[in-house]
Chain A
Amino acid sequence: MPTFVYMSMCDGCGKCVEICPSDIMHIDPVMRRAYNIEPEYCWECYSCVKACPQNAIDMRGYADFAPLGHALTVLREPEKGVVSWKVVYRNGETKTFRFPIRTTKFGSIKPPTAYPEPSLEALSSPLLAHEPEYLKVEGLPTLHPKEAERA
């Protein structure tokens, strides 16, 4: 279900342009509003739908479940850590689905760039960068190189 933009709600802030992994959300050169330049290439990840601060982006529902007069909308509430979806069928039936998406506050998790740069010796370690502190555990089980070879 590719996305589309309601032009009257869009402010042209560009958040969907930034977040789209398929690079198909662009800015209209006439009215400077966002639009999906190639719906067939949409990954349907809905990152733009959730990122839009004006809730100006919706999905086109497929004809097999939401034809003619349907609506499929999403509300992102980052301050509550929840995303809600609403499906309105053409007979008026409405279903709402609510999904907790995280338990930590937005912005509370340090990005990789906030950690000190690993040393060169870390390349020989089986641990990934910033493990184990990045995973918030005291330590990870590791194999001795000889045990690893045998395994």
Chain B
Amino acid sequence: MVLFCLRFLGSVQFGKVLYIGFGYIGLTMTAVNINNILPPVFFEVFVGVLFVAMVLGLVYDALGGRKLAYFRAERRMMLSATSGGGQGKEVGVAGVVGRTLVTNLATSRELAKCGASRRASHELMLWGFILSVIVVVVKVFAYPDVSPVLPSSVFGVLLNLGGLLVLVGGLWYLWLRVNVSHEGNSVFRVTRADMFILSLLANAVLGFVLEGADLSGSVVATDVALGLYLPVTAFMFFSVPWSKFSHIFYKGAYAIQREIDRERGVSRLPTPSEDSYIKE
């Protein structure tokens, strides 16, 4: 790592542009072929295990954590409080899902009422995470022999961009956490609700560390970086029942349900006023 840093600084010192310097090391030094340390099939199995762990964790949380029972109880309340119940109205579910995904979830529209900063930081994290996941899955399953992933390659650019978005959005969000900004707690106070974002940030940081170690050409450094990166990534997916990871699915599903309710006229709230009392 030290060797990598010295070489990196050296390249900058000799007038190289930052990005070119980064790629320069990868091209001139012999980057570590991670496939020699862990075979491609390992990463395929690893990603598969993470996916299964995430699904099982979600099921465990929904049933064991009584999230599903709570949701059903809330639905009963919502329907009983709706005049007429909105029954019998046909709604094109596929259209609603598509519209919600594009106009609501993709833009974090729901968070607009929470402030522009929170929405922006959430957008950065959301798209950074999605980008990283897609690139990793494509790389692992479609291009398993590509190693090392150079920063100048398409994979490298997209992975670095995803990691950067997560880092910027995540660090920004740490200062926007509601218990920090509204309850006045220290920004360093950590609760269980922070488990997901901290593991996400750790994942992004260790991803950059792994990239640096890989490009430095040091097998030992790459071994160590892999030894840190893989458990932290696994932790994020295995901790689904206890972390806020599951909110990705719950909030998405609830947003779709709310759109369907709106189409069907299901609302527990009073009907909006037709008159405005604002005179000035």
Using a CB–CB cutoff of 8 Å, the interface residues on chain A facing chain B are 6-9, 11-14, 17-18, 26-32, 53-55, 58, 69, 71, 73-75, 77, 79-82, 84-86, 88, 94, 96, 98, 100-105, 108
B273 and A84 form a contact (CB under 8 A)? yes
Q: Known contacts A80-B273, A84-B271, A103-B279: does B254 contact A8 (CB below 8 Å)? A: yes
| B:165-208 near A, CB below 8 Å | 177-179, 181-183, 191-193
Q: Known contacts A27-B182, A71-B77, A71-B80: does B279 contact A55 (CB below 8 Å)? A: no
* Cα–Cα distance between A63 and B183 once the two chains are bound (Å): 33
* Cα–Cα distance between A18 and B182 once the two chains are bound (Å): 6
Contact residue among A17, A82, A94 (Cβ-Cβ distance under 8 Å from B182): A17
Q: Known contacts A31-B193, A73-B268, A73-B269: does B81 contact A14 (CB below 8 Å)? A: no
B272 and A75 form a contact (CB under 8 A)? yes
> Residue among B110, B178, B247, B272 with the most chain A CB within 10 A?
B178
Taking CB atoms, residues of chain A closer than 8 Å to B279 are: 103-104
- Kindly supply a per-residue 1/0 record for chain B positions 253-280, scoring 1 wherever the CB is within 8 Å of any chain A CB and 0 otherwise: 0100000000000001111110111111
Is B113 located at the chain interface by the 8 A CB criterion? yes
Contact residue among B83, B244, B270, B277 (Cβ-Cβ distance under 8 Å from A80): B277
Can you identify 9 A-B contacts, CB atoms within 8 angstroms?
A: A11-B110, A17-B182, A30-B193, A71-B77, A73-B270, A75-B270, A80-B278, A96-B270, A104-B280
* A53, chain B: closest CB distance, angstroms: 4
Taking CB atoms, residues of chain B closer than 8 Å to A86 are: 81, 268-270
* A67, chain B: closest CB distance, angstroms: 13
A6 and B270 form a contact (CB under 8 A)? no
Taking CB atoms, residues of chain A closer than 8 Å to B71 are: 8
* Cα–Cα distance between A24 and B222 once the two chains are bound (Å): 50
A73 and B178 form a contact (CB under 8 A)? no
* B274, chain A: closest CB distance, angstroms: 9
**Residue of B whose beta carbon sits closest to that of A19:** B182
* Cα–Cα distance between A54 and B113 once the two chains are bound (Å): 8
Count of inter-chain pairs, beta carbons less than 8 A: 121
Contact residues of A: prevailing secondary structure: loop
Q: Known contacts A7-B70, A79-B278: does B191 contact A55 (CB below 8 Å)? A: no
Is B111 located at the chain interface by the 8 A CB criterion? yes
* Cα–Cα distance between A9 and B70 once the two chains are bound (Å): 12
* A137, chain B: closest CB distance, angstroms: 16
**Residue of B whose beta carbon sits closest to that of A80:** B276
Is B115 located at the chain interface by the 8 A CB criterion? yes
B277 and A100 form a contact (CB under 8 A)? yes
* Cα–Cα distance between A26 and B271 once the two chains are bound (Å): 29
Contact residue among B77, B114, B193, B269 (Cβ-Cβ distance under 8 Å from A11): B114
Taking CB atoms, residues of chain A closer than 8 Å to B254 are: 8-9
Is B250 located at the chain interface by the 8 A CB criterion? yes
* A114, chain B: closest CB distance, angstroms: 17
Q: Known contacts A29-B191, A71-B81, A86-B270: does B183 contact A105 (CB below 8 Å)? A: no
* Cα–Cα distance between A75 and B80 once the two chains are bound (Å): 17
Taking CB atoms, residues of chain A closer than 8 Å to B145 are: none
* Cα–Cα distance between A69 and B128 once the two chains are bound (Å): 44
A88 and B183 form a contact (CB under 8 A)? no
Taking CB atoms, residues of chain A closer than 8 Å to B118 are: 13
B278 and A104 form a contact (CB under 8 A)? yes
A29 and B179 form a contact (CB under 8 A)? yes
- Going nearest first, the 8 A-B pairs with the smallest beta carbon separation are A14-B182, A53-B113, A71-B81, A13-B114, A14-B178, A29-B191, A84-B270, A81-B277
Taking CB atoms, residues of chain A closer than 8 Å to B182 are: 14, 17-18, 27
Taking CB atoms, residues of chain B closer than 8 Å to A69 are: 80
* B227, chain A: closest CB distance, angstroms: 30
